A and B are shown apart, each in its own frame.
Chain A
Amino acid sequence: MKATAAPLDATLTVDASHRAASRSTAGPQRRKPLTWKKRSTPWAYMAPAMFVLLLMTVAPAIFIFYSAFRNDKILGGVGKFVGLDNFITVVTNASVQHAFLITFGFVAVAVILEMILGFALALPLAAQTRANKVGAALMLLPFAVTPAVAAMVFKQLLNPNYGWVGYYLGVFGFPKGIDLLGDPTSAWIVLVILDMWQWTPFVALILMAGLQSLPGEPREAAMVDGATPWQMFRHITFPAMVPFIAIAAVLRTIQAFKTFDSFKILTGGGPGESTEIINLGIFRVGLQSFNVGLACALGVVFLIILSLLIPFMLRIIGRRADPEEM
């Protein structure tokens, strides 16, 4: 337990020695040849799950790689091979570049703000008091709300004519009937606030669990040595929290790249194309304009970009969830 609470690289070295040890003891006994039945049993148990996963990840991936080189339309019959035409559109089209750019911007801004605020919330929440039990339960509420419902409720709150936000802003001297979703800048601020409202609690709860698992001795020793609170945070708490920060950051980054509901419902990509992130773009091109080929080319590029996150996912989540096995 103490080893897992240590900084990331320390954890990994501990794991490595662990694995080496377990292999050297377990290895020789397990070298006897396996019968065909013994070999096939685990595959039989794996088969149904693998079938479902292949059907919903690998098969679609093959489909989009194939369709990306064709000009099929869902309603227009069978198309033909068009080579790299779709990819040329992806690379040269200004609104595609804009969509990718704002997607990265949104993910970066939302995740960074959520990490900072999540840490600021986790620090007071980690103290094990009775009030904090209530606090942690309240903390969870926004994160449990169905995203499509949350977006709908935000939309009502922001309604220029009847919304609470507009009315109470008016009471405090802002212009009456303000339409926050009608202007690109304020629409972006609203979308980021909605994401923060919903997901900062997730970060805070991960970091809270991390803080609660830290051993007390190093802090006590530092306190005896007369360390200032900032020194203790900088040299003891923060380094020990790095694995938890990494977990929250990786998961939030992946989830943020999948964001669809809030954009679709709150702005639909507008005003203009100012909030049309790549998820909305693929949806519009593929399922509203039925241009399957172009949508698949966009999907291929998006999938490749997201695949770059896999090593982080495996290293940070996989190893930590299961230090002895991975």
Chain B
Amino acid sequence: MTTTSSISRGRAVARVIIGRTFLWAWLLVGLVPLLFMFITSIKPAGIANQIPPAWFFQPTLDNYASVLSAGGGKSESFGQLLTNSAVVSLGATALAIIVGVPAAYALTMRDFRARKGLSSWILSTYMFPPIVAVIPVFVFAGKLGLMDSYPALIIPYAAFNLPIVVWILRSSILQLPYEIQEAAMVDGASTWEVLRRIIWPLLVPSVATAAVLTIVLSWNEFLFALSLTRSGAKTAPVGLQQFTGMYGTDWGNITAAATLIVAPILVLMVVLRRQMVAGLTFGAVK
């Protein structure tokens, strides 16, 4: 009895150790690309792409300064590209929230017969492949003179994030006790007043989650930015790809730019880890 239980305990311990070793090996190996990016970005000029890789050097911020400074024969500074990314991401987020909050509220109204069908339709648009939308949007934007402008990116980004925004907000409203709404209605409040005075204040944390997700996904978007912008509204991830031409193969500059793109996103995601996973699964995993 004691021998069998000690054997099975030994096996259990071994299994736990194997599991944990795999987990931490994965995590550490997974950090290598990020480490490479950051370390190379603080290397002095000249040793950034030296082989064998230099591990001991005087760290410097020169690459960041050089990337962010304007002029020098470049068509646009990287600072401008980051600004474009920020404008587009925040614009898309504002649009998605402004149209998403009333929609989410409508989808919880008990008298609204079409709410189930519409909820399903909105969810199913998540499947819509962006590559199928990009050609028509390219043609429309060209006809409307919106090519290379902020709205050409803001509207598609808002649309592609609306399923997530609406579903997060809708399930948050459904979790609020309905009695609060009912009481206000009995007191003569209109639906708009209920939304404005009662639901909105309680919804702020969910709106924040939905907004952060939309910012992150818009900031990271590549296909539309690549197809619909040339210089005026070009975003940072697209600009980064042209660095090889712009700066030769200056790895210091490229990795500094890459770090500047990724850093704000990493901070947002790590801070809101739980909500991110819940949001990206449309609330199916809490």
Is residue B64 contacting chain A, with contact meaning CB distance below 8 A?
no
What A residues does B156 contact at CB under 8 A? Answer: 56
Per-position 1/0 for B244-286, Cβ under 8 A of A: 0000010100110010011001101110010011001111111
Return A207 CB to nearest CB of chain B, in Å: 9
Partner of A260, one of B109, B131, B241, B251: B131
Q: Name B37's closest neighbour in chain A (CB-CB).
A: A153
Q: Which of A42, A156, A247 has the most CB of B within 10 A?
A: A42
* Chain A residues near B10 (CB-CB < 8 A): none
Identify the stretch in B66-74, B76-84, B94-102, B203-211 within 8 Å (CB) of chain A at 4 or more residues: B94-102
Q: Given A56-B160, A152-B241, A287-B227, A302 and B174 touching (CB < 8 A)?
A: no
How far does the alpha carbon of A132 sit from the alpha carbon of B37 in the complex, in Å?
25
User: Which A residues are in CB contact (< 8 Å) with B114?
Assistant: 42
Could you tell me which residues of chain B, from 203 to 227, have a CB within 8 Å of some CB in chain A? 216, 219-220, 222-223, 226-227
Query: Does chain A have a CB within 8 A of B11?
Result: yes
Hey, which chain B residues are within 8 Å of A55, CB to CB? Answer: 155, 159
Across the interface, do B129 and A42 meet the contact criterion of CB distance under 8 Å? no
Interface 1/0 per residue, B116-152 and A, CB below 8 Å: 1011101111111111111111111010000000000
- A180 near B: Cβ within 8 Å? no
A137, B273: Cβ atoms closer than 8 Å: yes
Which residues of B are found within 8 Å of A317, using beta-carbon distances?
Answer: 123, 281-282, 284
CB distance from A260 to the nearest CB of B (A): 5
Main secondary structure of the interface of A (DSSP, over half): helix
Contact of A146 (CB < 8 Å), options: B107, B265, B270: B265
Residues 10-48 of chain A: 1 if any B CB is under 8 Å from the residue's CB, otherwise 0? 000000000000000010001000100011011101101
Residues of A close to B197: CB separation below 8 A:
none
B49→A63 contact, CB < 8 A: no
Produce 1/0 per residue, A98-127, CB < 8 A to B: 000000000000000000010011011100
A307 to B40, CA, bound (A): 44
B155: chain A residues within 8 A (beta carbon): 52, 55-56
Residues of B within 8 Å of A228, CB to CB, are 8
A251 touches B281 (CB 8 A): yes
Q: Determine whether the beta carbon of A38 is less than 8 Å from that of B111.
A: yes
Residue interface mask B1-20, A partner, CB < 8 A = 1 = 00000001001100110011
Q: Pick from A34, A53, A292, A318: contact of B120, CB below 8 A.
A: A318
* B19 lies within 8 A of A314 (CB): no
Given A124-B20, A140-B276, A144-B216, verify A197-B30 contact (CB < 8 Å): yes
Task: Specify which of A30, A43, A49, A206 lies most central, judged by the most chain B CB atoms within 10 Å of its CB.
Answer: A49
User: Contact check: which of A140, A200, A260 meets B273 at CB < 8 Å?
Assistant: A140
Contact A209–B159 (Cβ < 8 Å): no
B134 near A287 with CB under 8 A, answer yes
Q: How far is the CA of A317 from the CA of B127 in the complex (A)?
A: 12
- CA of A72 to CA of B212, assembled, Å: 40
Known: A121-B22, A138-B27, A153-B37. A251 touches B159 (CB 8 A): no
Are A167 and B171 touching (Cβ within 8 A)?
no
Q: What CA separation (Å) do A325 and B110 show in the bound complex?
A: 10
Question: Chain A residues near B12 (CB, 8 Å)?
Answer: 229
Q: Which of A125, A146, A206 contacts B237 (CB 8 A)?
A: A146
List residues of chain A with CB within 8 A of the CB of B219: 146
Q: Does B45 sit within 8 A of A, measured CB to CB?
A: no
Give the number of chain A interface residues (Cβ < 8 Å): 106
Measured in the bound complex, the distance between the Cα atoms of B156 and A59 in whole Å is: 12
Among A67, A125, A148, A313, the residue within 8 A (CB) of B220 is A148
In the complex, are the beta carbons of B103 and A282 less than 8 A apart? no
What is the CA–CA distance of A300 and B255 in the complex, to the nearest angstrom? Answer: 39
- The verdict on A162 contacting chain B, using a C-beta distance below 8 Å, is yes
Measured between alpha carbons, how far is A55 from B129 in the docked complex, in Å?
14
In the assembled complex, the Cα of A70 lies from the Cα of B119 at a distance in Å of: 34
Residue A179 interfacial (CB < 8 Å):
no
Cα–Cα distance between A41 and B33 once the two chains are bound (Å):
52
CA of A324 to CA of B123 in the docked complex: distance in angstroms? Answer: 16
Q: Mark A43-79, 1 if CB is under 8 A from B, else 0.
A: 1011011111101110111011001000000100000
Q: Are B129 and A152 in contact (CB under 8 A)?
A: no
Q: How far is the CB of B109 from chain A (nearest CB, A)?
A: 5
Say yes or no: B135 contacts A137, CB within 8 Å: no
Does the CB pair B120–A140 fall under 8 Å? Answer: no
Query: By the criterion CB–CB under 8 Å, are B277 and A144 in contact?
Result: no
Contact of B270 among A144, A260, A310 (CB under 8 A): A144
Chain B residues within an 8 Å CB radius of A161: 51
Q: Which residue of the partner chain A has the closest CB to B118?
A: A46
User: Which residue in B40, B95, B118, B249 is a CB contact (below 8 Å) of A52?
Assistant: B95
Find the A residue at minimum CB distance from B100. Answer: A49
- A-chain residues with CB within 8 Å of residue B240 when the two chains form the complex: 148-149, 152
- Taking a contact as CB atoms under 8 Å apart, the answer to whether A167 and B53 are in contact is yes
Are A167's CB and B51's CB within 8 A? yes
**In the assembly, what is the distance between CA of A34 and CA of B122, in Å?**
25
Spell out A's residues near B (CB within 8 Å): 26, 30, 34, 38-39, 41-43, 45-46, 48-53, 55-57, 59-61, 63-64, 67, 74, 117, 120-121, 123-125, 135-150, 152-154, 156-157, 159, 161-162, 164, 167, 197, 200-202, 205-206, 209-210, 213, 228-229, 244, 247, 251, 254, 257-258, 260-261, 264-265, 278-279, 282-283, 286-287, 292, 295-296, 299, 302-303, 306-307, 309-310, 313-314, 316-318, 320-322, 324-326
Q: List 8 A-B contacts (CB under 8 A).
A: A38-B111, A42-B115, A53-B125, A123-B19, A139-B30, A162-B249, A318-B123, A322-B283
